[in-house]
Every structure is written in structure tokens, then in C-alpha cells.
Chains A and B, each alone.
Chain A
Amino acid sequence: MVKFRYLRTRMTVLYAGLFGIALMLVAVAVWTAINSSARGLVRDELTASGAVYGQLWESQTAQLGQGAAVLAQDYGFREAVATNDEPTVRSALDNLRARQKVDGALILGIDGYATSAGLQPDATAIATLWQGLNGGSIEAGVLTIDGQPYQAVSAPILAPVLIGWVVFVERLDQTQMRKLETLSAIPLSASVLTSSRGTWRDMAGPPSRLDGAVNKAVLSGGHPVKARTTEGETMVLARPLPSFDAASPAVLTLSYPMSQALKPFAPMFAALGGIALTGLALLLAGTWVLSRGLTRPITALDEAVHRLKVGEHAEVAVSSSDEIGRLAESFNAMAGDIRDREARLTHMALHDQETGLPNRLWLERQAALAPDAWVVLLGVDRFEIVRNAIGYDSMGQLVGSLGSRLSRAANDTRVARIAAGVVGLILEAEDEVNALETAARLCAVADQPINLIGATVDAVLTAGIATTRRETGGVNSVVDRAGIALDQARGAHLKAALFDAAAYGDPVGNLSLISDLMAALESDQVWMAYQPKFDLRADAITGVEALMRWNHPRRGFVSPDLFITMAEETGQIRALTEWGLRHAIADQKALEAAGHVLTMSVNISGRLLSDTSFADFALAEVARCGADLCFEITETAVIDNPEMALGIIDRFSAAGIAVSIDDYGSGLSSLSYLKRIRADELKIDKAFILTLDESSRDALLVKSTIDLAHSLGMKVTAEGVETPTALTLLRGMGCDKAQGYLIARPMALTGLIERLDMPALEGETKAA
């Protein structure tokens, strides 16, 4: 079954097909009628012509017969024949032949001897003629002489008994046939055919094109028959003619090709065909137009459904009250419902349900439409505290009130709720200064206390501003940028701040930095630097602190503060520390080989103190190499599980590893640590040492810390010693070791070995 894409195609094809079939039937009927009529006409004409020819044949036979008889009955002629007076006989034959205008005349004796005039028949023809005549079966008929059929007519010579025959022969040629053809009303073609060895041949000899049809025509008894020849269907009439040679019968054939008979009807057929085609075209066009009228509402519905599917406006004009009309009405109702629901969904997606204000998504869309504007986010300071104070419901009211105030203050600009305590709007401003001023002015709307259910609430607003003009700082969303700006404003204790990409840094870039770092551990980008520790009592360098350094191929030198903090925050610090520990131990061996026995200090993050497997690794490593290590515990990170950390530190101590408290005096260090950690060493933060020679307060703090450490049994190392004065002061305070640029900068292993070969206090003498 054919699938139709459109209803109207289907209708058109159906109607056109039906009409086409009807047309075909009519055409067949007309053609059959005409064909049959033409065939009848030809048949009648052939029959009539056949009859006419029969009469012609008879009359010609009679005419020739009369001529022959005249001679045969002439007394003198008979006497001449009877007495074998050949010259006389011949002259008489010539005479009569000329008079009768026949092709040939001959005397055939009863003994078979022939005397001829004009045509000279061959012996075969004479024999055939004699057999026929002597047999008495035939007197006139077709005689073939030299392959050419002749009409032969005889008259007996009685003297008084039969002594022979006078025979006239007349050629049966095309001329005679043309004569016959002109007698017919239709241009039929006539021919005399003779049969030889089963094949019917034309007068001239070649096999006739009607060969196949003649036998059938002869058998039909003089009725025309249909036959297929080289000229197509042909009507053939065959009329047997008497023949002297029984083995070679002769027929007169009349034939007429049907194509000729149908030729006069060709214009009619053409006209009928034209009418049919025009009719078909009209029907096609008509059906198309009609079906389009019928299917237009359906098509409209179809298109409306498609529009509905892609979310466009879809309404069908209803013009009829039939089934399609009702369907269209239902569809319109349904489409309306869908539209309403969609609108509701859209509204919900773009609005905050609690306050009815637009939401963050809405603001982002608006911002995307304003290429040169400012997004201002205003946050309620100390939001959680306020919220906890007044409750969640009231907080929503508070934000709603603030939103409407801001809207009024900003020339009825719509205000969106971005987060629980943050609202935002889009601001047109000439420049940054103008934007900041406006934002600060907007913050002032909160100066008036807000009345909520009879109580007044004070709220303080801070504003963050970002421009929609360009993306900066790797933050895609302008609302995010404004949000960061809000945090930055709060951090800087400003009323309003612009987004500062530089201050924000590159958190995403940092994240990728860690993966770079872990990959770089295998290369020489990361290396260990060592900063010597000077023993003030021994006046010698007795130890070094191992410090990690990283030269990023693109970024260059990366601050250890940055990448170590990142490693701590992303959980990579253990792997990093293990790597550093292994290198430090190896380098300690290298120093030993170079003749320098030094205590190697390695920084251990406080985070690792809750990781027993790291402790296992470190202890195993130390035991394996027999290293003399000092673990400097940094306190940059919070120690989550103090009990476990203390246990691990105890294990380190038990294994002979010295433990040092790093950066004491800054950050999170507290006296409780000193109380609980049994450390061997305390390192005073360089913040105190750098200003030691300027601030007497610092000197007092350092002095008392040294005393405190000593009284707890710990050695004291001062970091950040950069001046000889500071060194002298520290020496006076009883500090045990000093570390800083005055002694040496952190340096690579080779540099360190060179440095160790020089006087321990090179820097001091230089500075002095």
C-alpha cells in the first residue's frame, strides 16, 4: 500500500485513478467499436471485391473462350489442323492472337503436340496443359509458364471428333491487378498467388508476405480472415482459381492492412486522447483544489500542533461547526491551558516564591540583555544573626521590604532576590565612580528601620558591583562577579566595592596548579632548597631546614605558601611530604658524604598528624636510612584530632626524631599546645624577629618566649634573622639557634655544600 504524506495527495490520486480507469474503459470501448466497425467495413469491401473479381475472371474466361471457339469451329481451320497443314494453322493462330490481343495462342493436339504463336510455352507447361485438357477436368484456369501465372482458356477442335484444343493464354500481371484494385472503394491490394511446395508465392515468384494467411483464408470458404503480416494486422480474402496443375493451386488474394483501415480514425483517436488528458488534468486540478479546501483545517491543526510542540503560539481559527471545527475548539482550549501552565512554570522559574521578587535566573537574563550596565548585589550584613533573631518568615518580609525600597530608590528598577539575604538589580551608570556612588546611596535605604509586624528591625546593607561589559577574573556570570565583589566589600569593610579580579585570584587556575605539581614531582621543576640553621652556642651551622621549591614552566616561581596550602586543601600534602622527606634523607646522606653532618629539619603539616599511615611511612624511612631528622610541625592547619596527633608525635620522639613547633607566635598557636606537645624545639615566628631591633615590645615577647621554652625543656630557634643587631640581641637573650638571610638564604644542595665550606657567619661579617 502506498503511504501518502498528505491527505489531499491521497484524495487526488484516488479520484484521478478512478477517472483514469473510467477513461481507459471508455477508450477501450471506443477503440473496440471503431476497430470492429472498420474490420466489418474492410471485410465487406473485400468480399464485394472478391465477388467482382470472380465475375471479371468469368467474363474474361468467356471472352477468351469465345475467341478460341471461333477459331476452333472454323471449317477451314479445322481442315488445316486435321490435314496437318501447319503453316496455315500457324498463320491462323497469329491472326487470331492479334485480333484478340492475347499474349499467346496455341494448338494442342490430342496427341500432346503443340503449335504455338506469340508466347512459347515450355515443355512442362505443355505437359500440364495437355494433362488438364485431356483429363477433361478443366477447360480454363491458371497455368504457370516459366514461373509466371497465366490465365489459359481452351476451346476444343472438333473435326468432327476431338482432335485438339485452341488455347489462349493471358498473362496475370500487376497491371491487371491494379485494374482490379481501382474497382474497390478501399485501396486494397490484389494479387494472384500460386503454391509451390507448400509455399504461396507472388506472381513474380518470391514467397508472399501473406503466405501464412492464405491457407486459413482458403479454408474459410471465401470469407475474409484476420492475419498478422509485416504490415501488422491485415484482413485477407483468398479466392481459389482453377489451376491446370493440381499440385500447384492458385488463389486470388485481396488484402488490406487494418492500420490503413484505422487511419481515418486517427484524428478522432487523437481528439479523444486530448479530451481524456484535458479531463484528467481538470480533474486533478479540481480534486486538488477541493481536497485542499477539505484538508485546510486539518493542515492548519497539524501545523498548530507542530507550533505547540516547539512552544510557539498555536491557535487555530475556527470557521466551521463540524467535527473538525469542534476539534479545533478543543485544541485551542488545550493550547491555552498549556500556555497558561507554561507561563506559570516560567514565572516560577524566574521568581522567588517567598517574596514574589524575580530570582537570580531572571537577573542573569536581564544582565545578558544589558551589555553596558552594572549589576549591583546588596547583601544584608550578618544575615544569619538577623535571621536567627527575627525568624525565617520575618526575614522573607524583611528582604521583600528592602526590595521594594530599593526599587523605589532606583527609579522603579525591578529588584531580584539572589540568595536568602541578597538582592540584586541592574544599574545604569556612566563609570565606576558613579556606579559606586549609586550603590552606596542604595545601601542607605536600610538606614530607616524596617517595620515588621509592629516591631522595627535594623539592617545594614553592603553592595558588590560588577560590570556586564566584559567577563573578568575567569568568572562567567556577572551575578557571580557581583557576589564576589560583595564579599570583597565586606572583607574590606566598605559600603560598596567593584569586583576585583586580581584580589579574587584564580581558584580554577590554582586547582589545575596542584595537578601540575603532582605531575612535576617526577621532573626537575620541583627541587629541595636548604636553609642553614646557625647554632649560637657552637658558632657553627649545625642543621638545615628543607624547603620545597617549584619553578613552573609557564608561571615561573610558584610561592610555596600557595602550593603547599593548595596541597593541604586538596589532600595532596601527604604525597608531597613523602616526596620531600625522601629527598631530604637522600640529600642528608649526600652532605654526609661531603663531610657535613647536619640535622635535617623537615616541615610536616599538622594535617598529617592525623594520618597514621604517613607516620608509619616516615618512621620506616627514618629507620631504614638511619637519618637524623627534625620534624617541624606547622600550625597553619587546624589539628582535627589532637589525641591522635599527640600519639603520633610521641612515636616520632620515641624513634629519635626531634619535634619542633614551627612559626610559634602567629596563627593558631596557643599555650595549650606547648602544654601538650612534648617538643624538642620551638621556632619563633619571623614576624617577631624582623622588628626585634626596633620594637622593645617584640624584644620582651621574644625574651619571655625563650625563657618559657627553656623552662619547658625546649631549644629555641629564631627565624627571620636578617641583621647582625638582631643576632646579637638573640644571643643576649639566650636563643639557641638562628635562621635567616643573615646566615644564609635557602639554597640548592650544591650551593649549600659550597656555603658550608665558608665561615659560618659570613653574612654577619658582611653586614658588619
Chain B
Amino acid sequence: MFRFILFLIAFMALPGATLAGPLTVSVRDAAGRPVRDAVVTVRPDAGVPRGPIRFSWPLRVVQQNVQFQPFVLIAPVGAPVSFPNLDRVRHQVYSFSRGNRFEIELFGQDQTRTHTFTTTGVAALGCNIHDQMLAYVRIVDTPWAGKTDASGDVTIPDIPAGGASLKVWHPRLNVPGNESAYVLTIDAGAGRQTMTGDFSSRAGVR
């Protein structure tokens, strides 16, 4: 059970303006604590622009200190994601996630392998050698996406005004698919959404 409280802050609409202000989404758990690494995606009803999607962060998952870094990576569908190994030990990266099964055979220090995720969704990454290693790649098909920081907030800029669907995903969000979807209207000016949910799912935790 989760509750979704929507606040619409209306700005004076500029005639002919196509771009609206940034949308800030705050994700909180049931106790009101900020939840980091929650992926927020917004898909305007008007559709997304054609062409490759580019994000401001590098599309790579580093293996360092026998850990994946970062824990959650947002990657556009069809873009290659690199897996550089900065450890001196070797790793064998795999995913059994539906639509995004892959396996990168053992590779050593300073070697980089890439994998292109062709299906939107989630790929849970593990290392066949080191059980404690776990990371997620969220494959999206919209450029308006971001993950919450330590304060549990994420700000997504330049979303076109109008109706849109908003999705919040987190490996511990205790709903089917670990994903909650909302419908909202993007207005001109900055918007703010707070999403509260149950983040106690046992899956996705080591």
C-alpha cells in the first residue's frame, strides 16, 4: 500500500512556451526517511523526441573493491554500457533478468567489457564469483529520468508541459515489478512531487 500525494503548483503560463520548469520528486519510505537510488522516469503523453537519448552520467558500471559502482545505473535502451574492472581480481558479470540476459566471461584488471541492453526494464547484475556484488541497470526509453540522491530527491528539468506518466522504481519498492506508476500534468515552472512507499522488499538485497 502506498500513498501518493500530488501537489500542483501553477505558474503563469507563457504564451507559446513549449518547455516547462523542472520537476522535483521526493521519495520517502513509510517512516518518512529519504530513499536514495530510486529511479524516477517521466513520459509525456506527447511522446519523446526521436533520436538517441543522452544522459549526463557515463554509461558504465565499474567493478571496484569487489563492488559494483554505481548501485543503480540509468541507461537508455540500445546504448552500450561498459563494465570496466578496476579490481585486481577477476569478475564474471551476469544478469538473468528477463529480456536482458547476458554474461560477461571472466575478465581481469583494467579490462572493460560492454553490453548493450535492448529491452526496457531492469537488469539485476551479479558476479558469479563474488556473491556480495549486486547492481541494477534501469533501461529506459525516455530522456526525462533521474535517480534520487542521498536526500531522496531528484530534479528532472525541461519536461514539456502537458499530461505525462511518472514511474518510480526501486529494487526494494514492495510492489510487483518494484515499480509504481502515476499520471500527472506538467505545468510551466518548477513542479514538486513527493512519493511515499513501502521499501521493505526482500528481493534485491544481499
- Chain A residues in contact with chain B, CB under 8 A? 73, 75, 78-79, 82-83, 110, 134, 136, 158-163
- Does B35 make an interface contact (CB < 8 A)? no
With known contacts A82-B96, A83-B96, A158–B202 Cβ distance under 8 A: no
Q: Is the CB of B204 within 8 A of A162?
A: yes
Instruction: Give 19 new A-B contacts, CB below 8 A, not counting A159-B96, A160-B131.
Output: A75-B94, A79-B96, A82-B96, A83-B96, A83-B101, A110-B202, A110-B203, A134-B202, A136-B202, A158-B131, A158-B206, A159-B126, A160-B125, A161-B171, A161-B204, A162-B202, A162-B203, A162-B204, A162-B205
Contact with A along B143-182 (1 / 0, CB 8 A): 0000000000000000000000000000100000000000
Q: Is the CB of A73 within 8 A of B131?
A: yes
With known contacts A82-B96, A134-B202, A159–B124 Cβ distance under 8 A: yes
Chain B contacts of A78 at CB under 8 A?
Answer: 96
- Does B195 make an interface contact (CB < 8 A)? no
One of A73, A83, A110, A161 near B124 (C-beta < 8 A): A161
Prevailing SS type, chain A contact patch: mixed
- Chain B residues in contact with chain A, CB under 8 A? 94, 96, 101, 124-128, 131, 133-134, 171, 202-206
A156, closest chain B residue (CB) = B202
Q: Is the CB of B203 within 8 A of A160?
A: no
A162, closest chain B residue (CB) = B203
Q: Is the CB of A161 within 8 A of B131?
A: no
Q: Is the CB of A158 within 8 A of B96?
A: no
B92, closest chain A residue (CB) = A75
Q: Is the CB of A75 within 8 A of B202?
A: no
Chain A contacts of B202 at CB under 8 A?
Answer: 110, 134, 136, 162
Chain B contacts of A159 at CB under 8 A?
Answer: 96, 124, 126
A73, closest chain B residue (CB) = B131
Determine the distance from Cα of A161 to Cα of B204 in the docked complex, in whole angstroms.
4
Determine the distance from Cα of A136 to Cα of B96 in the docked complex, in whole angstroms.
23
Determine the distance from Cα of A259 to Cα of B48 in the docked complex, in whole angstroms.
87
With known contacts A78-B96, A83-B96, A161–B128 Cβ distance under 8 A: no
Q: Is the CB of A161 within 8 A of B203?
A: yes
B135, closest chain A residue (CB) = A160
- A-B contacts, 7 listed (Cβ < 8 Å): A78-B96, A83-B96, A158-B131, A160-B134, A161-B203, A161-B204, A162-B204
Determine the distance from Cα of A160 to Cα of B127 in the docked complex, in whole angstroms.
8
Distance to closest chain B CB from A684 (angstroms): 174
A159, closest chain B residue (CB) = B96
Q: Is the CB of B205 within 8 A of A160?
A: no
Determine the distance from Cα of A83 to Cα of B101 in the docked complex, in whole angstroms.
10
B136, closest chain A residue (CB) = A161
Determine the distance from Cα of A159 to Cα of B205 in the docked complex, in whole angstroms.
11
B128, closest chain A residue (CB) = A75
Chain A contacts of B134 at CB under 8 A?
Answer: 160-161
Determine the distance from Cα of A279 to Cα of B202 in the docked complex, in whole angstroms.
79
Determine the distance from Cα of A161 to Cα of B97 in the docked complex, in whole angstroms.
10
Distance to closest chain A CB from B178 (angstroms): 10
B101, closest chain A residue (CB) = A83
Determine the distance from Cα of A162 to Cα of B134 in the docked complex, in whole angstroms.
11
One of B125, B131, B203, B205 near A163 (C-beta < 8 A): B203
Most chain B beta-carbon neighbours within 10 Å: one of A78, A160, A162: A160
Distance to closest chain A CB from B170 (angstroms): 13
Determine the distance from Cα of A73 to Cα of B132 in the docked complex, in whole angstroms.
12
One of A83, A134, A136, A158 near B126 (C-beta < 8 A): A158
Distance to closest chain B CB from A602 (angstroms): 159
Determine the distance from Cα of A78 to Cα of B94 in the docked complex, in whole angstroms.
11
Determine the distance from Cα of A78 to Cα of B127 in the docked complex, in whole angstroms.
12
Chain B contacts of A110 at CB under 8 A?
Answer: 202-203
Determine the distance from Cα of A107 to Cα of B112 in the docked complex, in whole angstroms.
36
Determine the distance from Cα of A475 to Cα of B168 in the docked complex, in whole angstroms.
156
Distance to closest chain B CB from A737 (angstroms): 174
Determine the distance from Cα of A60 to Cα of B202 in the docked complex, in whole angstroms.
26
Determine the distance from Cα of A75 to Cα of B129 in the docked complex, in whole angstroms.
9
Distance to closest chain B CB from A285 (angstroms): 86
Lowest 4 A-B CB distances belong to which pairs?
A160-B126, A82-B96, A161-B204, A162-B203
Distance to closest chain B CB from A253 (angstroms): 34
Chain A contacts of B204 at CB under 8 A?
Answer: 161-162
Q: Is the CB of B171 within 8 A of A160?
A: no
Most chain A beta-carbon neighbours within 10 Å: one of B96, B125, B171, B206: B96
Distance to closest chain B CB from A73 (angstroms): 7
Chain A contacts of B171 at CB under 8 A?
Answer: 161
Chain A contacts of B131 at CB under 8 A?
Answer: 73, 158, 160
Determine the distance from Cα of A561 to Cα of B185 in the docked complex, in whole angstroms.
179
Distance to closest chain A CB from B123 (angstroms): 10
Determine the distance from Cα of A134 to Cα of B203 in the docked complex, in whole angstroms.
10
Distance to closest chain B CB from A761 (angstroms): 178
Determine the distance from Cα of A134 to Cα of B205 in the docked complex, in whole angstroms.
13
Chain B contacts of A161 at CB under 8 A?
Answer: 124, 134, 171, 203-205
Chain B contacts of A160 at CB under 8 A?
Answer: 124-127, 131, 133-134, 206
Most chain B beta-carbon neighbours within 10 Å: one of A78, A83, A136, A159: A159
Determine the distance from Cα of A159 to Cα of B206 in the docked complex, in whole angstroms.
10
Determine the distance from Cα of A136 to Cα of B172 in the docked complex, in whole angstroms.
14
Chain A contacts of B133 at CB under 8 A?
Answer: 160
Distance to closest chain B CB from A85 (angstroms): 11
Chain B contacts of A158 at CB under 8 A?
Answer: 126, 131, 206
Distance to closest chain A CB from B2 (angstroms): 19
Determine the distance from Cα of A75 to Cα of B105 in the docked complex, in whole angstroms.
13
Distance to closest chain B CB from A112 (angstroms): 13
Distance to closest chain A CB from B11 (angstroms): 41
A80, closest chain B residue (CB) = B96
Chain A contacts of B101 at CB under 8 A?
Answer: 83
Determine the distance from Cα of A544 to Cα of B101 in the docked complex, in whole angstroms.
185
Determine the distance from Cα of A136 to Cα of B101 in the docked complex, in whole angstroms.
28
Chain B contacts of A134 at CB under 8 A?
Answer: 202
Determine the distance from Cα of A83 to Cα of B103 in the docked complex, in whole angstroms.
14
Determine the distance from Cα of A162 to Cα of B96 in the docked complex, in whole angstroms.
12
Chain A contacts of B203 at CB under 8 A?
Answer: 110, 161-163
Chain B contacts of A75 at CB under 8 A?
Answer: 94, 128
Chain A contacts of B126 at CB under 8 A?
Answer: 158-160
Determine the distance from Cα of A75 to Cα of B202 in the docked complex, in whole angstroms.
21
B129, closest chain A residue (CB) = A75
Chain A contacts of B94 at CB under 8 A?
Answer: 75
Determine the distance from Cα of A663 to Cα of B206 in the docked complex, in whole angstroms.
173
Distance to closest chain A CB from B143 (angstroms): 27
Determine the distance from Cα of A136 to Cα of B125 in the docked complex, in whole angstroms.
23
Determine the distance from Cα of A75 to Cα of B106 in the docked complex, in whole angstroms.
14
Determine the distance from Cα of A134 to Cα of B200 in the docked complex, in whole angstroms.
11
Most chain B beta-carbon neighbours within 10 Å: one of A73, A79, A158, A162: A158
B171, closest chain A residue (CB) = A161
Determine the distance from Cα of A713 to Cα of B37 in the docked complex, in whole angstroms.
195
Chain B contacts of A83 at CB under 8 A?
Answer: 96, 101
Distance to closest chain A CB from B42 (angstroms): 26
Chain B contacts of A73 at CB under 8 A?
Answer: 131
Determine the distance from Cα of A82 to Cα of B96 in the docked complex, in whole angstroms.
6
A135, closest chain B residue (CB) = B202
Distance to closest chain B CB from A516 (angstroms): 141
Distance to closest chain A CB from B37 (angstroms): 14
Distance to closest chain B CB from A21 (angstroms): 73
Determine the distance from Cα of A634 to Cα of B109 in the docked complex, in whole angstroms.
190
